[in-house]
Amino acid sequence: MPHLRVLVFQHAPYCPLEMFGDSLASDGILPTVVELNTGQAIPDLHKFDALIVLGGPMDVWQTDDNPWLIPEKAAIGTWVRDLKKPMLGVCLGHQLLADALGGEVRTATKPEGGLHDVVLNSAGLMHPLMNGFQPSKKAIMFHGCEVTRLPEGGVTLASTENCPISAFAVGNKAFGIQYHAEATDTLVEEWTDLVPGNTLVKQLHGRDGVEKVRRSVSEAMPELRSNAKTIFRNFMAIASDDYR
């Protein structure tokens, strides 16, 4: 079977594919990464089989400062509703998926920054995207906004203590995860060096919050790496079945 043609929407240099990129490389897949924040244009969607939309520091409604969000959301709508192709949205990508399809994203009641327990509900436990996971898994969270209303046809798959919609599906091909399944401890160090991430973590975890978060993420990396491979493989299996 030919390799899947993977399209990636990236929004910041410090929010890359990371561990998902490693998995793509091991499969011999060279994705087309569009750096939207630098002005790169969205290519012809018909030329691709799967879409991954990554995270970023902006919010879905900040279109004045980030005008490329407008065509991006239009492209996501076309991809999911019209072309009916598989998509995985991560953090901002999760929120963009909901927003583009008519859901709602607002400032989080309580932001999250650091390591959290993601708990699958009954729909999540039965869903192929979550195949192989226990009812609870560790995940890295860095977000100040959240999906507060799902688009039509959306189904919640998982939540955290503070975020009721941490993962959702729309139909059987489009998925959003609020957590950074792709992130490594090195990337978390970079995020917590940046002013927004550093401020958020200290706000949530105290003056020594950065050290606490870095340590907890580092200790959990074996599980986090396994989780990244599992959800990536599950998504690609769904996409491959569709491609066949």
Report pLDDT digits (tens) over 65-103: 999 999 999 999 999 999 999 999 999 999 999 999 999
Q: Extract the tokens encoding 159.
A: 């939540």
Residue 182 is a catalytic residue: yes
Residue scoring higher pLDDT (23 or 2): 23
Of 57, 130, 132, 59, give the one whose Cα is nearest residue 88. Answer: 130
Report pLDDT digits (tens) over 191-233: 999 999 999 999 999 989 999 999 999 999 999 999 999 999 9
Q: What per-residue confidence (pLDDT) applies to 59?
A: 95
For residue 170, the tally of other CB atoms under 10 A from its CB is: 22
Q: Please tell me the distance from the alpha carbon of residue 131 to that of residue 234, in angstroms, as a whole number.
A: 7
Q: What per-residue confidence (pLDDT) applies to 243?
A: 44
Angle at 115 between CA 102 and CA 134, to 5 degrees: 80
Residue 152 is a catalytic residue: no
Q: Topology of 6-243 in CATH?
A: Rossmann fold (3.40.50)
Chain centroid to Cα 191, Å, comes to 16
Q: Active site residue: 72, 112, 146, 182, which one?
A: 182
With a CB cutoff of 8 Å and minimum separation 6, the contacts of 79 are 45, 51, 85, 87
Q: Any idea where the domains of the chain sit in the sequence?
A: 6-243
Residue 244 has pLDDT above 80, yes or no: no
Lowest mean pLDDT among 12-21, 30-39, 43-52, 196-205: 196-205
Question: Whole-prediction pTM value?
Answer: 0.95
* Per-residue H/E/C for 124-191: HHHCHHHCCCCCEEEEEEEEEEEEEECCCCEEEEEECCCCCCCEEEECCCEEEECCCCCCCHHHHHHH
Of 171, 177, 134, give the one whose Cα is nearest residue 157. Answer: 177
Q: What are phi and psi of 36, to 5 degrees?
A: -60, -35
Percent of residues, the chain, with pLDDT higher than 70: 98
Q: Average per-residue pLDDT in the chain?
A: 95
Q: Active site residue: 15, 91, 145, 163, which one?
A: 91
Residue 127 is a catalytic residue: no
Virtual CA dihedral for 124, 32, 36, 185, nearest 10 degrees?
60
**What pLDDT band is residue 241 in, cutting at 50, 70 and 90?**
confident
